[in-house]
A = this chain, B = another copy of it.
Amino acid sequence: MPDYSIGVDLGGTNLRIAAVSTDGQLLEKVTVATRIGRGADHVIDDMCNAIRTLSDRYRGGGAFLGAGIGVAGIIDLDAGIVRKSANLPGWENYHVREQIERRLGTRIYLENDAKVAALGEQWLGAGRDEDNMALLTLGTGIGGAIVLDGKIFHGMNGMAGEFGHVTIEPEGVPCGCGNRGCAERYASASGIVRMARELIESGQAPELAKAANSEAEFSARLVYDLASKGDAAAQRIFQRFGCALGILLADIVNILNLPVYVVGGNVAAAWDAFAPRMFEELAQRSLIYAATAPGDPSGTSKNASVGIKQWTTVVKRAMLGGDAGLFGGARLPSISS
């Protein structure tokens, strides 16, 4: 039996824990409630009990290599601390890694959730054929991560891959970060809702206004449903979304020149509504992309015919959904040194 490790998704509502073998098989997955109200020590106790139960079950076969934990927020990698997380209020000075290591007596890796998701997609998902890729996670905002040579590229202090705050529109909508026109003000769930509200207020979106009045919660999903039914105003929102995402991707392609860019997160489900416009902008705004985009179905392009390696730049959807972070977390003990 191969060696195995544990991946943890430490969310504000649920703690999800998986045992994964080093050859990428999911051995078992459990979910327990995150009892935030009882304090960090209790949450960590619950997590450690679950990790212990799961890791004990597979002992006797391969070796247990440790656990990798993904958390939404800013992680201090050196200290093993969650510096800032909307899901874990009050944990700012809590030594997460140290507390877990003390309880379990094994090496623990703490990471940002978008970073472990990227690692999971690179290992077993949409990026599995390449060692180098970037992940854009479209949710309330835009999360991002860069994987180089099969490892997370952190930059100086773990902030590399802040794709959501790349400037898409220099005089655009103000963002909480202090900038204007950040990508995530357009190409995210909150961006969709904001744009929908603006259209409703301007009186240009009667169907959206009706939906907003009749639903308890006005969501990006609702705007997507209307767009799918052919509502012009809702479709215009996804055009703007696709345009912003295309500009962002073009900037990233021009800077990083990676072979694969994976688009994940809940909002990636609206792919059919935004992707055509996204690809259009991307091809127009990045010569690197235009020159290396796949889609030579004959397989007999000029380069191929003269024996030059056919480079391709691929933008594709994530494959592992919410489990990407579990796989990525479980990958951490194997690739960290």
Contacts and interface: CB of A to CB of B under 8 A. Distances in A.
A179 B313 contact: no
Given A165-B254, A167-B250, A251-B255, 14 more contacts: A78-B309, A79-B308, A148-B148, A154-B257, A155-B257, A156-B257, A156-B292, A156-B313, A157-B311, A162-B257, A163-B254, A167-B168, A177-B287, A252-B255
B168 A259 contact: no
A319 interface: no
A313 to B, nearest CB: 7
Contacts of A79: 308
Contacts of A159: 257, 288
Nearest to A306: B93
Given A78-B309, A250-B179, A251-B251, A286 B165 contact: yes
> What is the size category of the interface that chain A forms with chain B?
35 or more
Interface string A132-145: 10000000000000
A196 to B, nearest CB: 21
A47 interface: no
A42 B325 CA distance: 57
A178 B290 contact: yes
Contacts of A153: 148
A100 interface: no
Contacts of A180: 285
Contacts of A78: 309
Nearest to A159: B257
A192 to B, nearest CB: 19
Contacts of A168: 167, 170
A254 B148 CA distance: 17
A284 interface: yes
A258 B254 CA distance: 17
B287 A251 contact: no
A107 to B, nearest CB: 22
A210 to B, nearest CB: 32
A118 B129 CA distance: 30
A182 B274 CA distance: 23
A160 B256 contact: yes
A258 B155 contact: yes
Given A179-B286, A290-B178, A255 B162 contact: yes
B162 A254 contact: yes
